[in-house]
Amino acid sequence: MSQATLEIRRISGHAGSVPGAGLRREFEVCKLIDTTTCIGCKACEVACLEWNGLTFSETTFNNSYQTMPETQWNYWNLIKFNEHERDDGTLQLLMRKDQCMHCEEPGCLAACPADGAIVQYVNGIVDFQQDHCIGCGYCMTGCPFNIPKFSPTARKVFKCTLCVDRVTQGLEPACIKSCPTGCLHFGTKPEMKELAESRAAQLREESGFATAGVYDPAGIGGTHVIYVLHDATNPEAYGGLPNDPRIPWTVKLWKTPLKWIGNLAIVAGLVGVVGHYLRFGPKLPPEEEERP
Amino acid sequence: MTNGWIDIKNTDLMLIMGGNPAENHPCGFKWAIEAKRDRNAKLIVVDPRFTRTASTADLFLQIRAGTDIAFLGGLINYALENNRIAKEYLINYTNAPFLIQEGFKLPEDGLYSGFDEATKTYDKATWNYQPGGEVSGKVAEGDPLAAAAPPTLPPNVAYDLMLQHPRCVLQLLKKHYSRYTPEVVERITGIPRAQFLKAADLFTSVRKDGDLKKVATIIYAVGWTQHTFGTQIIRTAAMLQLLMGNIGRTGGGVNALRGHSNIQGATDMAGIFDNLPGYLKVPVPADSDLAAYLKRITPTSSKPGPWDSFNYWSNTPKFAVSFLKAMYGDAATKQNDFAFHYLPKIDRNYSWVEIWDNMYRGSIKGMLAFGMNGVMIGPDQQKNIDALKKADWLVVGEIYPDETSEFWRAPGITADEMKKINTTVYRLPCAGFAEKDGSMTNSARWLQWKNAAVPPPGEARLDQDIVAQIFLRVRDLYRKEGGKFPDPILNLTWPYIDPEHPALSDLAKEINGKAVADITDPATKQTIRAGQQLPGFAFLRDDGSTSCGNWIYSGCWTEAGPQLARRGTEDPSGLGIYPNWAWSWPANRRVLYNRASCDPAGKPWDPDRRQIWWDEDSHKWIGNDVPDFKPDSNPKDHMGPFIMNPEGVGRIFGPLAAFADGPFPEYYEPIESPIANPLHPNQSSNPVVKKFNTPMDKYGTIEQGFTVVCTTYRLTEHYHYWTKNNPMNVQLIPEPFIEIPVELADEMGIRGAQKIKVTSARGTYIAKAFVTHRIKPMTIDGKKVYQIGLPIHQGFRGIQEDAEKDARTPANLLTPTVYDPNAYTPEFKGFLVKVEKA
Amino acid sequence: MELSRRTFLKSTLVGGVGVSVLGFDLTPVYAQTQTLKISRASETRSTCPYCSVSCGVIIYTLGDKAKNAIPQVVHVEGDPDHPINRGTLCPKGSSLEQDILNDRRLLKPQVRRPGATDWEDISWEQAYSEIAQRVKKTREDSFLEKDAQGKTVNRCEGIAFTGGCTDTNEFNYLVVKTMRSLGVCYLENQARV
């Protein structure tokens, strides 16, 4: 991962498979967020803002410690707060870091019609390429977590990059580094999964949280950002974390016919190529090109 | 902190009270989380609000602000009743066996023996040990010496190792706190009995069956300090920890989390009126000469005859004379008492609240404020503003436009009124942290050197240059014109390579100290040549042959270089000691009183968490940490581990003048309180607390309609009055708010984010309501009481303030002008207000 | 905000499409990521000025400290070597870049004269000279050599010094030296409150 370039696994709006995929060994990265040790300090919010050089926007106090209601095109990392009263009458202040989940099967990428505007690297990071973004906002409808946000000034969509610039250079994302309590961890997916499961087991066995568990939703093939929750049966309590996130059916519906059309075009192209070959034979390079 | 930040990871149990480290010390709090994750350590949080620290707790209790002594006293009572105490530790390492004079009276009526109603002070003669040696098994006798005894500690104290004598400290302690039953705790604190018992059981569980292996830590901050009995809250915690045998041990201790980056250093360096550097006492008029001064401030040991006491403060003359040599160099000679009379003598309290009172009364004419926003800090901000109106001049060194330098245009002051304010204000642009080097001392007593990254912007200058320039020009005026007693000004040492711009490295070396003449250590035969840096305070002399700016910092910059800049990342013990990172005072010890981490024979109480131990082969104390002890004192000699006390042992009873308000902490109500003290309604608040009497000093009562308990605090998103200038932090919390219980909001018809008004006897604060479940209504002595809380961060200069996006009513408009009689810290927490719709 | 954050190798992508139908291509597709903004910046180790944990921070400045480069802060991050914070920072520490670069910083000495309704600029020279004279005058007016009982006290009652929370040990020592020598007793600090 120390090269300045990253290998791509999926490309948005792109007919056909991704060239070269699966030829190199590469591990998948993952961010682990342990909500049970999160203190809602927002260091990750500031670290994100600072590292990515994002502009400031005006906020107002709205009966919560939460900085703003949702992430914004220039605010990619937001702690969601919830005063949660449990059945036994005790209070919990639930705090969850909200940001792009870097889904294994990204709904944004599936929905995006612009060729190359969203890519998924082999390491799992889902990255927006604003050069190719046409600002249609379809990615926003494709995301089950309400993450990509449209910038009216740039007319493009933005979201957390998992600090791909840092990760490419062998550094952890800015939010991970800042986290004072270590409720954020970063590593390979299997390692993070193991760490999360062991923490959840500790919460169940030692801390009295019988329903503690790991959030790595299967409906989208798992995510490259996973959570440990005190109560895995109620992710909604954590600032509206969806119980069973899926790519919206609308996206599937319109993408499926399109794919068929695309595939038909590819087959037609193939037939054309074969036909051309049969008709004209192979195209030989000019003689002078053989020797430099 | 007796221990350190990283050491918290070694604990089995944490009691966090009077502090909110998850919000105010997040990166230190990681070690609490680490203890939970790696050791399954339990966390108890007791706070007036369900804070973000509470969100990680195993057990949270909501307490009425200011009632901590009742809660902790209840824990002491529970520990004694259930025999969950460290008996061996108690007998050998504390004054629990010591006998107290017959005339000493416990405060059943709210007063200890010796109270003088006219002066509101105590005659503390009876707050003392009895002389007489071992009395174990003997019947108590009348003490004929008691009346005649001078008010000094007896050299040969009477003691009972069986802890049975009715006048022994433990028995008095038992009697004193037997009144703090779970029922009384509930009446005062509002914590239901069952919850209190759950917490008491959990906290004392580390001493179940008398086993001393486990260890608990107590962590606090200014939630304990900022009361008219703040010192006594902290003392109750210290006593509890002695009782439990948790002091001096890995993962234990009483750990004060200082609020700012160099508050510890400022205290060590005596930026406060009553100390000189290294906790030497400031001279008083009765100190007619150096000998009288040294006699007064140098304690003599007071202990059971057969035991040993290091009494390290017996070295005080060496520290004091070396300090005078650092100050006045060649002008400090044996003949002139080392220029002792160059130092001013204090005859009263000159502390923070007194400064503003005296300025208000017109006796203080000029003030220099460097990085200190006194108007915002309060208490009773309006009094401070009105005080500055009466001053002739004010010099402010700051990096941002602050409220103190702009007191003359505070909200509400019209242009016409401004014209009548005759104070001249100089505002000098200073350097920010990234623009200067120097050292700061953290809560764990680590001195760390930092480097400058950029030059100060614009015409801003380094703070030390500014103070130096002002002083040098005053000195020039005295040289040219003469004046009153110019000697200390003219003779102050100024040995800096660039005298106009003293380098902080030069100053750091001066603080460490050097030999003035060749000296040889009698024990090691090591010779330090004149002019060389001293290796540590053990080399200091009282004959003028050494100079040292601050004895406890001696060792920070030796001939081997700047120890405080060390960056060694190795931690061989795995206990988080990091002996080669930076340098901690004293003598690079990381856990204070670490002798107490071992049993009397010198073996660690817990072999898995060894701080130091006695090594029979070398006949020395060795270990992972630097022993905070006489390194060759054989355990057989029974030297006490608390070497800074003349007793050598920890003080469960604080004798004589140790405390202004009693040898044991007693529960008193805050100055403004919703109930009369259930223990003694006729002596509700602390009897020795002074109230001020200018027209500005008002104190509210429930009869006046101030029925709600209010507390002030900081948020994790902001740093004091500083980050209101930083757009990143302003974005996180853009405006002030008032946290109020849902039930109170419902009662008053207040919705979340609606503007409300909080009024105290002194002022009004306007902000949006934060209607929350995290503060519940409480039942106090049978009455329903609401608590509210407000953060202190917003003022009348800042990004949002300048855009007039809030009401520009700082929190300290509300707070009262009263302070703790021991530490002189104002009562910022737990005062009375009323809440109204705005 | 910069919009063209990354260069995307469009030609490779488009060029690859034609043959992808054959199943695979031996030339994988890459995206170039933005280069690290601190990769060549200078590092200075410092200490966070806020709470008493005293986290180690690294201040990244533009330029390699060559003579002609004026350092400009580009980023502040936790020092991973620091045993206490191990690279982490809280929301205050994480925003230090904006504390250093802040456009609200005071840049010039100013004075507010008696009765004035605004600040006026003053030179350092003039400010020092006026302050020194005021300090001396107030000291002379309020200095007490002996108290009512005739005991030596040598104190100045008319001047107070209040020090801040981030003042270094060395600065505080300089304050003790100078202020105590002037006879100042009203010497207090954020440490008290």
- Which of the residues C138, C140, C177, C179 would you substitute to probe the B interface, choosing the one with the greatest number of B C-beta atoms within 10 Å? C177
Query: For residues B830 and B536, what is the distance between their CA atoms, to the nearest angstrom?
Result: 44
Contacting residues for B661 by C-beta, under 8 A, at least 6 apart: B122, B229, B232, B686, B687, B688, B821, B822
In this structure, are A237 and A256 located in the same domain?
A: no
Whether residue B489 has pLDDT greater than 60: yes
What residue of C is the nearest CA neighbor of A273? C18
Percent of chain B with pLDDT over 90: 97
Task: Using pLDDT thresholds of 50, 70 and 90, give the confidence band for residue A16.
Answer: confident
In this structure, are A31 and A142 located in the same domain?
A: yes
Asked if residue B494 is part of any domain, the answer here is no
Asked if residue A3 is part of any domain, the answer here is no
In this structure, are B245 and B274 located in the same domain?
A: no
Interface of A with C in 24-53 (CB under 8 A): 24, 41-43, 45-47, 50-51, 53
Whether residue A255 has pLDDT greater than 70: no
Among A20, A50, A132, beta carbon nearest to C94: A50
In this structure, are A202 and A241 located in the same domain?
A: yes
Query: In CATH, what number is assigned to the domain containing residue B727?
Result: 2.40.40.20
Q: How far is B244 from chain A (nearest CA, A)?
A: 25
Task: Using pLDDT thresholds of 50, 70 and 90, give the confidence band for residue B694.
Answer: very high
In this structure, are A84 and A149 located in the same domain?
A: yes
pLDDT in tens, B315-327: 999 999 999 999 9
- Which of B458, B489, B520 terminates a domain? The answer is B489
Instruction: Chain C: list its partners (3+ Cβ pairs within 8 Å).
Output: A, B
What ipTM goes with this model? 0.96
Query: Is B5 within 8 Å of chain A by CB?
Result: no
Residues B23, B52: contact at Cβ < 8 Å?
yes
Looking at B162-176, B396-410, C2-16, which range is the least confident one?
C2-16
Whether residue B335 has pLDDT greater than 50: yes
Quick one: average pLDDT of B493-497? 97
Query: For residues B470 and A169, what is the distance between their CA atoms, to the nearest angstrom?
Result: 50
Task: Using pLDDT thresholds of 50, 70 and 90, give the confidence band for residue B137.
Answer: low
pLDDT in tens, C139-154: 999 999 999 999 999 9
Q: How far is B493 from chain C (nearest CA, A)?
A: 9
Among B25, B258, B350, beta carbon nearest to C185: B350
What residue of B is the nearest CA neighbor of A45? B732
Structure-token pair, residue B477: 């005026």
Higher pLDDT among residues C28 and B536, named by residue: B536
Q: How many domains does chain A have?
A: 2
Interface of C with B in 12-71 (CB under 8 A): 44-56, 59, 61, 71
pLDDT given at position C35: 80
**Residue position matching structure tokens 């004060």:** B256
In this structure, are A227 and A283 located in the same domain?
A: no
Query: Is A127 within 8 Å of chain C by CB?
Result: yes
Looking at B129-138, B590-599, B616-625, B690-699, which range is the least confident one?
B129-138
Query: For residues C90 and B65, what is the distance between their CA atoms, to the nearest angstrom?
Result: 27
* Distance between start and end Cα atoms, chain A: 35
Quick one: average pLDDT of B491-515? 97
Instruction: Chain A: list its partners (3+ Cβ pairs within 8 Å).
Output: B, C
Asked if residue B527 is part of any domain, the answer here is yes
Query: In CATH, what number is assigned to the domain containing residue A107?
Result: 3.30.70.20
Contacting residues for A286 by C-beta, under 8 A, at least 6 apart: none
Cβ of B488 and C180 within 8 Å?
Answer: yes
pLDDT given at position B523: 83
Task: Using pLDDT thresholds of 50, 70 and 90, give the confidence band for residue A282.
Answer: low
Mean pLDDT of chain A: 90
In this structure, are A167 and A195 located in the same domain?
A: yes
Other beta carbons within 10 angstroms of residue C48's beta carbon come to: 30
Cβ of B442 and C54 within 8 Å?
Answer: yes
In this structure, are B17 and B122 located in the same domain?
A: yes
Cβ of C91 and A7 within 8 Å?
Answer: no
Query: Is B726 within 8 Å of chain A by CB?
Result: no
Cβ of C177 and B276 within 8 Å?
Answer: no
- For residue B283, the 8-state DSSP code is P
- Chain A neighbors of B732, CB-CB under 8 A: 42, 45-46, 59, 67
- Which of the residues A3, A14, A97 would you substitute to probe the C interface, choosing the one with the greatest number of C C-beta atoms within 10 Å? A14
pLDDT in tens, B235-248: 999 999 999 999 99
Q: How far is C9 from chain A (nearest CA, A)?
A: 10
In this structure, are A116 and A222 located in the same domain?
A: yes
Cβ of C31 and A119 within 8 Å?
Answer: yes
In this structure, are B231 and B131 located in the same domain?
A: yes
Quick one: average pLDDT of B749-757? 97
Residues C152, B358: contact at Cβ < 8 Å?
no
Domain range for A277: 250-289
In this structure, are B176 and B234 located in the same domain?
A: yes
Looking at A159-173, B65-79, B314-328, C21-35, which range is the least confident one?
C21-35
pLDDT given at position A6: 77
Contacting residues for C103 by C-beta, under 8 A, at least 6 apart: none
- Chain C neighbors of A2, CB-CB under 8 A: none
Contacting residues for B779 by C-beta, under 8 A, at least 6 apart: B190, B785
- Chain C neighbors of B799, CB-CB under 8 A: 104
- Chain A neighbors of B768, CB-CB under 8 A: 61, 63
In this structure, are B408 and B326 located in the same domain?
A: no
Burial class (CB in 10 A: 0-12, 13-18, 19+), A189: buried
Contacting residues for B579 by C-beta, under 8 A, at least 6 apart: B568, B588, B590, B624, B625, B626
What phi and psi, each to the nearest 5 degrees, are found at residue A165? -65, -35
pLDDT in tens, C82-114: 999 999 999 999 999 999 999 999 999 999 999
- For residue A186, the 8-state DSSP code is E
Among C91, C165, C193, beta carbon nearest to B371: C165
In this structure, are B321 and B359 located in the same domain?
A: no
pLDDT in tens, B545-577: 999 999 999 999 999 999 999 999 999 999 999
In this structure, are A53 and A75 located in the same domain?
A: yes
In this structure, are B362 and B317 located in the same domain?
A: no
pLDDT in tens, A208-220: 999 999 999 999 9
Structure-token pair, residue A57: 């926007």
Asked if residue A2 is part of any domain, the answer here is no
In this structure, are B718 and B822 located in the same domain?
A: yes
In this structure, are B51 and B161 located in the same domain?
A: yes
pLDDT given at position C4: 35
Selection from B721, B735, B815 nearest residue B769 by Cα: B735
Provide the residue type at B497 as one letter: I
- Which of B489, B522, B540 terminates a domain? The answer is B489
In this structure, are A53 and A187 located in the same domain?
A: yes
Asked if residue B807 is part of any domain, the answer here is yes
Among A4, A45, A178, beta carbon nearest to C78: A178
A interface with B, Cβ–Cβ < 8 A, is 36-37, 39-43, 45-46, 49-50, 56-65, 67, 83, 85, 91-95, 180-183, 199, 202, 206-207
**Residue position matching structure tokens 């220029």:** B339
- Chain C neighbors of A178, CB-CB under 8 A: 78, 88-90, 93-94
Task: Using pLDDT thresholds of 50, 70 and 90, give the confidence band for residue A252.
Answer: confident
In this structure, are A186 and A269 located in the same domain?
A: no
Asked if residue A185 is part of any domain, the answer here is yes
Asked if residue B19 is part of any domain, the answer here is yes
Contacting residues for B635 by C-beta, under 8 A, at least 6 apart: B598, B600, B601, B602, B614
Among A14, A23, A42, beta carbon nearest to C91: A42
In this structure, are B166 and B139 located in the same domain?
A: yes
Structure-token pair, residue B99: 């006998």
Q: How far is A89 from chain C (nearest CA, A)?
A: 31
In this structure, are A209 and A260 located in the same domain?
A: no
Task: State the count of interchain CB pairs (< 8 A) between A and B.
Answer: 107
Selection from A274, A241, A193 nearest residue A31 by Cα: A193
**Residue position matching structure tokens 């355990």:** B635
Query: In CATH, what number is assigned to the domain containing residue B97?
Result: 3.40.228.10
Angle at C149 between CA C146 and CA C151, to 5 degrees: 45
- Alpha helices, DSSP H, located in chain C: 10-20, 96-100, 124-142, 169-182
What residue of C is the nearest CA neighbor of A272? C18
* Distance between start and end Cα atoms, chain B: 43
Mean pLDDT of chain B: 96
pLDDT given at position A2: 38
pLDDT given at position B811: 97
Q: Hey, what domains does chain C have and what are their CATH numbers?
A: 1-34 (no CATH), 42-100 (3.30.200.210), 132-189 (no CATH)
pLDDT given at position A253: 75
Is B642 in a helix, a strand, or coil? Answer: coil
Structure-token pair, residue B469: 């320039």
- Chain C neighbors of B259, CB-CB under 8 A: 51-52, 165, 190
Other beta carbons within 10 angstroms of residue A148's beta carbon come to: 28
- Chain C neighbors of A51, CB-CB under 8 A: 75
- Which of the residues A129, A133, A156, A183 would you substitute to probe the C interface, choosing the one with the greatest number of C C-beta atoms within 10 Å? A129
Asked if residue B667 is part of any domain, the answer here is no
Q: How far is B45 from chain A (nearest CA, A)?
A: 13
C66: β partners: none
- Chain C neighbors of B579, CB-CB under 8 A: none
Whether residue C124 has pLDDT greater than 80: yes
Buried b (16+ CB within 10 A) or exposed e, B332-348: beeeebbbbbbbbbbbe
B439: β partners: B449
Whether residue A99 has pLDDT greater than 70: yes
Quick one: average pLDDT of C153-158? 98
What residue of B is the nearest CA neighbor of A58? B731
Task: Using pLDDT thresholds of 50, 70 and 90, give the confidence band for residue B209.
Answer: confident
pLDDT given at position A274: 72
Query: For residues B757 and B401, what is the distance between their CA atoms, to the nearest angstrom?
Result: 27
Higher pLDDT among residues A13 and B45, named by residue: B45
Whether residue A23 has pLDDT greater than 80: no
In this structure, are B131 and B233 located in the same domain?
A: yes
Higher pLDDT among residues A265 and B23, named by residue: B23
What phi and psi, each to the nearest 5 degrees, are found at residue B658? -55, -40
pLDDT given at position A268: 73
- For residue B756, the 8-state DSSP code is E
Query: For residues B51 and B16, what is the distance between their CA atoms, to the nearest angstrom?
Result: 11
Q: At what angle do helices B352-360 and B381-390 cross, to 10 degrees?
A: 50
Structure-token pair, residue B650: 């920890």
In this structure, are A224 and A255 located in the same domain?
A: no
pLDDT in tens, C161-175: 999 999 999 999 999
Domain range for B712: 681-837
What predicted TM-score, i.e. pTM, was given to this entire model?
Answer: 0.94
Instruction: Chain B: list its partners (3+ Cβ pairs within 8 Å).
Output: A, C
Quick one: average pLDDT of B645-657? 96
The alpha carbon of residue A164 and the mean position of all alpha carbons in its chain are separated, in whole angstroms, by: 11
pLDDT in tens, B779-790: 999 999 999 999
Q: How many domains does chain B have?
A: 4
Selection from B204, B207, B181 nearest residue B87 by Cα: B207
Contacting residues for B268 by C-beta, under 8 A, at least 6 apart: B277, B278, B279, B441, B550, B552, B553, B585, C169
Higher pLDDT among residues A169 and C89, named by residue: C89
Asked if residue B665 is part of any domain, the answer here is no
Structure-token pair, residue B282: 């400031």
- For residue C58, the 8-state DSSP code is E
Asked if residue B206 is part of any domain, the answer here is yes
- Which of B564, B585, B600 terminates a domain? The answer is B564
Strands B583-584 and B446-450: antiparallel
Interface of C with B in 82-141 (CB under 8 A): 82-86, 88-96, 98-100, 102, 104-117, 119, 122, 124, 127-136, 138-141
Whether residue A176 has pLDDT greater than 60: yes
Other beta carbons within 10 angstroms of residue B207's beta carbon come to: 25
What residue of B is the nearest CA neighbor of C71? B454
Among C53, C170, C180, beta carbon nearest to B5: C53
Query: For residues B232 and B235, what is the distance between their CA atoms, to the nearest angstrom?
Result: 5
Structure-token pair, residue B39: 């050791």
In this structure, are B754 and B827 located in the same domain?
A: yes
